[in-house]
Structure 1
Amino acid sequence: MPLVPVNAQPVRQPNQVTPTEIFEALRASVLGQDEVLRPVALAIHKHTTGAVPGNLLLVGNSGTGKTTIMRAVQRLFRERPEYAAFRAMAVINANLLVDAERLEFRPDRLLAAVEGRARAEIGHTPSAEELERTMARATICIDEIDKMSAKLAGKANPIGIALQQGLLTLMEGSLVPIRCRVRAGERDELRTLEIDTRRMMFICGGAFEGLYEQVYARVIAPGSGVKLRSTMVQSADGNLRFETRFALGEFFRMEDLFEYGMVPQFASRFESVLLLAELTLPVLQQILREAPESPFRRSQAYFAAQGIALEIDAEAAALIAEQAERSARMGARALRAVFSRVVAPLEFDPWGSGALQPNERGGFNLLITGAMVRAALQAAAPK
């Protein structure tokens, strides 16, 4: 009888993990998108418990967190032993799935990416049954799906139509043949496997840049009966002002996707169409300070290698977030651009900056202050 460590805990089954647990795990690395993460968590729960996969369409400006959500799902599958069978997860750009010359959907390219991930997770040359089973449980993330609209400049776009119809077939469930090298007894051989796509989960994402203007034009059109709300905001310097902002999520309806160029049958295969929220000032500050991949965290790691402890005060973080918020269509990516203006000179020559202070650990402290941010922004401003 095999020995079991005294403190070993049995691995739970996927159906023992609740959507709430999944949500909490995701929100640890995805900030400011709780309303989106709840249906994402539910879709994962359905996928991993054998129910009909909850395919998702993520709509959001650049930098709002679409890629971060996909990475968080991948991390969840990788770190949780309950999800070992679901770790084959492939991310592919939509424009790679269509042969532009023949106007044909290429499912083989998609399944080749899935096969690569499946083999990496299995760790040895798999049998046909192992490979089929692992690939059939895969999660497929397709980025820039908005670039494959069925309409382009008001005319039919054959490439977009081919992609949407091809993905529709996979999402509805089909058997797709693929040639693979598998283990058969004592030797390897090439076989044609049939991969069942019914239990795959599809997460598609895109910025849908024209959708914002399209819905805004509908909302402000004469006779729409809609009045945009104004809110009072306070700047990092304490000044108050009224702002009128348009939030896509408040006015979006499915018909807007159809008008944009998503074929109704294709769009209807998504259990949830999730509009990522624009990142508010407090969320941008939180991302700057806490997100694992924030520019501040990366800079901290860079300075730590030189014995320098980098910190940022509240005023500086607020000023950087406020400046980034003005580039609303860039989301969190704007933080990187603004922060780099402040930190680049310090990274280049911290010893000559005059900002280092010795600490009790034998190293140095470097504090980014509000005054430093103002000076950097003023220097970068157009003359």
Structure 2
Amino acid sequence: MEKQFDEDKSEEIMEQEKQEQKEDEYEKICFVCRRPESRAGKMITMPGNITICRDCMQKAFDSFEKNGAPYGINLGVPGNGQDGFDLSALSNIPGVGVINLADLGIGEREIPKNQRIKKKKEKEKKPVFDRKTIPAPHQIKQMLDEYVVGQEKAKKAISVAVYNHYKRVCADNTDGIEIEKSNMLLLGPTGSGKTYLVKTLARLLDVPLAIADATSLTEAGYIGDDIESVVSKLLQAAGNDVEKAEQGIIYIDEIDKIAKKRNTNTRDVSGESVQQELLKMLEGSEVEVPVGSNSKNAMVPMTTVNTNNILFICGGAFPDLEEIIKERLTKESSIGFRAELRDRYDQDENLLCKAEMDDLKKFGMIPEFLGRLPVLVSLEALTKEFMIRILKEPKNAILKQYEKLLQMDEVQLVFEDDALEAIAEKAMERHTGARALRAILEEYMLDIMYEIPKDDNIGRVTITKAYIEKTGGPIIDMRGVMRLGVHA
């Protein structure tokens, strides 16, 4: 019995030691000011596992002295051997009672894990990539080619910009030469693949990525997300690891929505002011962000993130920018043989590729903001041929996804070439880019996905042009039976 008792006791001690090791991975946080130990200095542990920084504790004692308490207590400064203090000193102050905070159920362990900051490793700081493992631009583009159809110019520009950025992160600045950041601005019509390009890039490179929506950003003090919430999302994506987050990618979508508002008498809290607040962050600065939350409040711990090595990519559709470009291109029109026709660019679907910084300034983007986005990349509008290729060529193509779904029911799915052309034509009519393809397929595959599991004898389903145009139905092959045409 005694031996069994000793074994149970030793297991309990081992479990307790493991728990303490896990807790040691996280920094202690001041219960009053919510600063971590790396910023506030060594913490003082009180009953109930409460940790308080020396500054907050000294302020408490100073307030006692101001109120006429006869006993002054000096905590000293870190490094002089005074690592704690005697709580019994508080009981000597008249009218002050020591409360055991453990009885209130409050303590550092009560902080949610997603709001706790991991300790920085003491070993030498390692970048996400070292110099030997950075993929070359042609390798990055080859990886993107497997998932993204077309957009050759955009993929090449992004590959070079990312390659140079991570070389900059690994660069040795002892020679006094510091490489500046090459943040990017993506222009392209809706559904052309701006967000998909960045998502694919981050997944292939295995770096933290945060996607923020510029429409929710407002000037500090107004309802909406603060600028710091953009960096806070990246910190969450990196698992609250500050070092990893400082070498990630932030993509700010719908950047055209924070352009300066024209002809308005109201205060512009989500336009030019947001651009101005983003300036220092794009360039590189120390940003204080909440951990595990998008809003600052007294109960959320704060940490500092340096944005110097974070790559910022901004993207937007910039509606009506074509009219500004067209006006610039045709402003020298005159009567004569060399005159530019006013309607020459009306049918040009890739007019955004001719965009210049002056056009974006007229649109409402301030010069200081554009100056911090030196790489301007324009994406091409999707043609019918591009749509067909998007349906079947990428590694994660939409048709391959539906084929996999039916394979799980042991049914083969086949699309005729004429059917793919009909789907692409319908998608072009919707003017929403590649997003229209999935919407159309969901509409036509609904009945098929509903009916197929009813009959185990179905072996193959062929989608025809007649079915897409609603003049016929799909062709269904039964196992061991002749082909049947099912009409709508």
How far the C-alpha of 1:337 sits from its partner, in A, is 3.0
- 2:357 is the alignment partner of 1:266: no
Contact 1:96–1:109 (8 Å) recurs in 2:
no
1:365 corresponding residue in structure 2? 460
From 200, 203, 211, give the equivalent of 1:75: 203
Q: 1:171 aligns with which of 270, 279, 282?
A: 282
Contact 2:284–2:306 (CA<8 Å) still a contact in 1? yes
Deviation at 1:171, TM superposition (A): 1.3
| 256 and 94 in structure 1: CA distance in 2 versus 1, 3 angstrom threshold | same
Match of 2:444 among 305, 320, 342: 342
Of 260, 279, 297 in structure 2, the residue corresponding to residue 150 of structure 1 is 260
Task: Return the structure number with greater relative CO, CA threshold 8 A, min gap 6.
Answer: 1
Contact 2:216/2:225, CA 8 A, preserved across alignment: no
Q: Secondary structure at the match of 1:366?
A: strand
1:138 aligned to 2:248? yes
Structure 2 SS opposite 1:195: strand
Q: 1:257 to 1:77 in 2, by over 3 A?
A: same
Encode CA deviations 1:104-138: one digit per residue, 9 max, x unaligned: 98233122112111226xxxxxxxxxx44222212
Alpha-carbon separation, structure 2, partners of 1:111 and 1:138: 10
Task: Classify 1:19/1:376 alpha carbon distance in 2 versus 1 (closer, same or farther; 3 Å).
Answer: farther
Cα 1:346/1:100, change in 2 over 3 Å: farther
- Report the alpha carbon displacement of residue 326 of structure 1 after superposing the two structures with TM: 3.1
1:43 has 2:161 as partner: yes
Residues of 2 paired with 1:307 and 1:334: CA distance?
28
The reply on whether 1:159 has 2:270 as its aligned counterpart is yes
Alpha carbons of structure 1 residues 26 and 351: separation in structure 2 relative to 1, 3 Å: closer
Matched, 1:203 2:321: no
Q: 2:145 aligns with which of 19, 24, 27?
A: 27
- Change in Cα spacing, 1:303 to 1:132, as seen in structure 2 (3 Å) is closer
Report sequence identity in percent. 26
Alignment-derived partner of residue 305 in structure 1: 408
Indicate the residue corresponding to 1:186 in structure 2: none
For 1:42, the aligned partner's letter is V
Paired with 1:267 and 1:377, the residues of 2 have a C-alpha distance of: 53
- Alignment check: 8 A CA contact 1:57 1:270 kept: yes
The answer for the alignment partner of 2:382 in structure 1 is 279
Deviates more, 1:36-45 or 1:282-291: 282-291
In the alignment, the residues of structure 2 paired with residue 163 and residue 377 of structure 1 have an alpha-carbon distance, to the nearest angstrom, of 54
Corresponding residue to 2:233 among 109, 113, 118:
113
Aligned twin of 2:215? 95
Q: Distance in 1 between matches of 2:388 and 2:291?
A: 48
Task: For 2:235 and 2:260, locate their aligned partners in 1 and report how far apart those are by CA, in whole Å.
Answer: 29
Distance 1:334 1:226, change over 3 A: farther
RMSD: 3.3
1:191-222 CA deviation, whole Å, 9 max, x = no partner?
76432211110011111122234434555668
Question: C-alpha separation between the residues in 2 aligned to 1:291 and 1:348?
Answer: 26
Larger relative strand fraction = 1
Instruction: Determine if contact 2:232/2:291 at 8 Å carries over to the other structure.
Output: no
AA aligned to 1:307 is E
Show structure 2 runs of 5+ residues with no match. 1-128, 169-178, 293-299, 474-488
* 1:266-324 residue CA offsets vs partner (Å, 9 max, x unmatched): 01211211111011222110101133554423322332222211111111112211222
Matches of 1:229 and 1:173, distance apart in 2: 43
Q: Does 1:52 align with 2:172?
A: no
Amino acid at match of 2:233: A
Q: Offset at 1:373? A: 2.0
Structure 1 unaligned runs (5+)?
1-10, 79-86, 121-130, 182-189, 231-242, 379-383
Q: In 1, Cα distance between the equivalents of 2:361 and 2:264? A: 13
In structure 1, the residue matched to 2:470 is 375
Deviation at 1:331, TM superposition (A): 1.0
1:351 CA drift (Å): 7.0
Cα 1:52/1:160, change in 2 over 3 Å: same
Structure 2 CA distance for partners of 1:192 and 1:344, relative to 1, 3 Å: closer
Alpha-carbon offset, residue 99 of structure 1: 4.4
- Taking the aligned partners of 1:16 and 1:134, their CA distance within structure 2 comes to 16
Distance 1:294 1:229 in 2: 36
2:191 maps to what in 1? 63
Distance (Å, rounded) in 1 between the aligned partners of 2:444 and 2:301: 57
- Report the CA distance shift for 1:166/1:350 in structure 2 as closer, same or farther (over 3 A): same
Secondary structure in 1 matching 2:469: helix
Quickly say closer, same or farther: Cα 1:72–1:250, change in 2 above 3 A.
closer
Secondary structure (helix, strand or coil) at the match of 2:150 reads: coil
- Residue number in structure 2 paired with 1:18: 136
Map Cα deviations across residues 124-180 of structure 1 (whole Å, 9 max, x no partner): xxxxxxx44222212111111111112245678342112111211111121223455
Task: Please give the alpha-carbon distance, in whole angstroms, between the structure 1 residues aligned to 2:413 and 2:215.
Answer: 41
Give SS of 1:17's match: coil
Q: Describe the SS at the equivalent of 1:209.
A: coil
Change (3 A) 1:113 1:14: farther
Contact 2:283 2:308 in 1 (8 A): yes
Q: Deviations over 1:60-95 (max 9, x none)?
A: 1211001111111111122xxxxxxxx222111113
TM-score by length of 1: 0.74
CA deviation digits over 1:210-256, x for unaligned, max 9?
223443455566827445669xxxxxxxxxxxx94442135322211
Q: CA-to-partner distance for each residue in 1:38-58, whole Å, 9 max, x for gaps?
A: 110011101211243321111
Residue type matched to 2:435 in 1?
A: R
User: How many residue pairs are counted as aligned between the two chains?
Assistant: 322
